[in-house]
């Protein structure tokens, strides 16, 4: 646990954090028992979008590089996952890594020239990559079926043969998405806590100083870009297996902007903030469907308020409030003892 090093005992804050995490997991595990089908659908989408949001959080929150290509890697993963399911009929535990690896390899090919650019040039390069992917998905008809998209993608299965241990019920897919989200969170946590993750944070804070300490900023930027694409590709493959259809609409800027909003408003450089942002900004547009005429206006105003009032994101703001509450309780106990 954070804050407990060798020879130190965990503090009350560590136990409180662990208790909060276990409580959240317990609620999520019990969700299908009291939530309707529509709410489960929203929860599943939140867990799916958590993957590309984590990838964007890695490259922006820990490396300080703004990439608009995350939506493209999400779409690539969706198409790769859909094609594998239709033509090769691999189990999900093979399809997801394959889609992630394809996205990562493409990111390496794009990243070698793109990462030589800096600031706005890099951002525009990644945005151009999104448009290129959308054009390919529309025009490579022999593979992608163009505007018709890939339809009839079979439901995912976990056994060794097609159809064995197939996930078809909504509740089953919820628990699958929940398990995959926990696995993605664990992998991300291990990455950012590794020496490579610490090197990435050092590059973000002061690149020149990091390079003077022997850290190869260019290499870590390329690795971070590839890892962010891997998370995006895996999320896209999960999305394809759930929706059972993929079209060029997957490359729309909506997804790119959604992942940006999740990371920015949730709290870049944090894990809990991005998880919270995913829930809020996937559920909010759906909740506003009843006010279709005002949906975009309310959504935009909500984001602007968060940017100006909570510039560091929802997660860090809640963490500060929690720390202040704990401090206030400790002071009250101390005053009572005195």
Percent of the chain with pLDDT over 70: 87
pLDDT band with cut points at 50, 70 and 90 for residue 4: very low
* Percentage of residues in the chain having pLDDT higher than 90: 53
The values of phi and psi at residue 157, to 5°, are: -130, 155
Mean pLDDT on 115-144: 91
- Which of the four pLDDT bands, split at 50, 70 and 90, describes residue 104? very high
For residue 289, what pLDDT is reported? Answer: 67
Indicate if the pLDDT at residue 272 is higher than 90.
no
> Does 189 have pLDDT greater than 90?
yes
Q: What is the pTM of this model?
A: 0.89
Write down the pLDDT at residue 298. 73
Q: Where does the pLDDT of residue 329 fall: very low under 50, low under 70, confident under 90, or very high at 90 and above?
A: low
Structure confidence at residue 303 (pLDDT): 72
pLDDT at residue 150, rounded to an integer: 93
Higher pLDDT, 213 or 179: 179
The whole-number average pLDDT for the span 231-240 is: 97
pLDDT bin (cut points 50, 70, 90) of residue 8 is very low
Phi, psi of 166, deg, nearest 5 = -80, 140
Label residue 2 by pLDDT band (50, 70, 90): very low
> Residue 292: is its pLDDT beyond 70?
no
pLDDT at residue 206 is higher than 80: yes
- Token pair belonging to 335: 């005053």
Residue 24: per-residue pLDDT: 86
Average pLDDT, whole number, for the chain? 86
pLDDT at residue 1 tops 60: no
Cα 171–Cα 227–Cα 204 angle in degrees, nearest 5:
120
Pick the more confident residue, 328 or 275. 275
Q: What is the pLDDT of residue 23?
A: 87
Buried/exposed code over 284-309 (b: 16+ C-beta within 10 A; e: otherwise): ebeebeeeeeebeeebeebbeebeee
Can you name the residues that pair with 150 across neighbouring β-strands? 246
**Mean pLDDT (whole number) for 39-59:** 94
Q: Write out the two tokens for 88.
A: 């090769």
What pLDDT score does 236 carry?
96
Report the pLDDT value the prediction gives residue 137, as an integer from 0 to 100: 95
Least-confidence region, from 4-13, 153-162, 210-219: 4-13
Confidence label for 10 from pLDDT (cuts 50, 70 and 90): low
* pLDDT in the model for residue 331: 73
Runs of H (alpha helix) within 37-169: 37-56, 70-83, 92-114, 120-139, 141-144
The whole-number pLDDT of residue 7 equals 45
Q: pLDDT of 51-101, one tens digit each?
A: 999 999 999 999 989 999 999 999 999 999 999 999 999 999 999 999 999
Q: Which tops the pLDDT comparison, 238 or 322?
A: 238
**83 near 143, Cβ under 8 Å?**
yes
Classify residue 291 by its DSSP letter: G
Averaged pLDDT for residues 6-30: 71
Predicted pLDDT of residue 326: 63
CB environment 141-151: b (16+ within 10 A), e (fewer): eeebbeeebbe
> Residue 13: is its pLDDT beyond 70?
no
């Amino acid at each position: 646990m954070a804050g407990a090093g060798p020879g130190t005992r965990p503090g009350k804050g560590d136990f409180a954090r662990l208790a909060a995490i276990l409580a959240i997991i317990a609620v999520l595990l019990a969700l299908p028992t009291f939530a309707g089908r529509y709410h489960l659908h929203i929860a599943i989408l939140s867990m799916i979008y958590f993957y590309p949001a984590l990838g964007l959080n890695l490259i922006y929150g820990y490396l300080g590089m703004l990439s608009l290509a995350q939506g493209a890697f999400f779409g690539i993963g969706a198409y790769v996952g859909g094609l594998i399911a239709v033509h090769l009929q691999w189990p999900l535990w093979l399809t997801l890594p394959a889609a992630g690896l394809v996205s990562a390899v493409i990111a390496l090919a794009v990243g070698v020239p793109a990462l030589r650019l800096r600031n706005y040039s890099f951002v525009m390069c990644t945005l151009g990559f999104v448009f290129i992917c959308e054009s390919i998905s529309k025009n490579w008809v022999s593979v992608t079926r163009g505007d018709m998209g890939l339809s009839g993608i079979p439901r995912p299965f976990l056994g060794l043969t097609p159809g064995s241990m197939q996930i078809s019920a909504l509740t089953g897919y919820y628990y699958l998405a929940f398990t995959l989200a926990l696995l993605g969170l664990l992998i991300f946590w291990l990455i950012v806590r590794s020496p490579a993750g610490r090197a990435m944070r050092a590059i973000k804070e002061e690149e020149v100083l990091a390079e003077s300490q022997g850290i190869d900023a260019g290499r870590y930027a390329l690795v971070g870009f590839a890892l962010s694409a891997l998370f995006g590709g895996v999320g896209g493959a999960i999305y394809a297996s759930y929706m059972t259809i993929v079209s060029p609409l997957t490359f729309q800027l909506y997804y790119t902007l959604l992942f940006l909003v999740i990371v920015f408003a949730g709290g870049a450089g944090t894990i809990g903030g991005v998880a919270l942002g995913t829930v809020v900004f996937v559920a909010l547009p759906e909740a506003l469907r009843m006010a279709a005429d005002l949906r975009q206006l309310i959504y935009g105003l909500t984001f602007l308020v968060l940017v100006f009032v909570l510039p560091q994101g929802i997660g860090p703001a809640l963490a500060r409030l929690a720390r202040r509450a704990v401090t206030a309780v400790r002071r009250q106990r101390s005053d009572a003892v005195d």
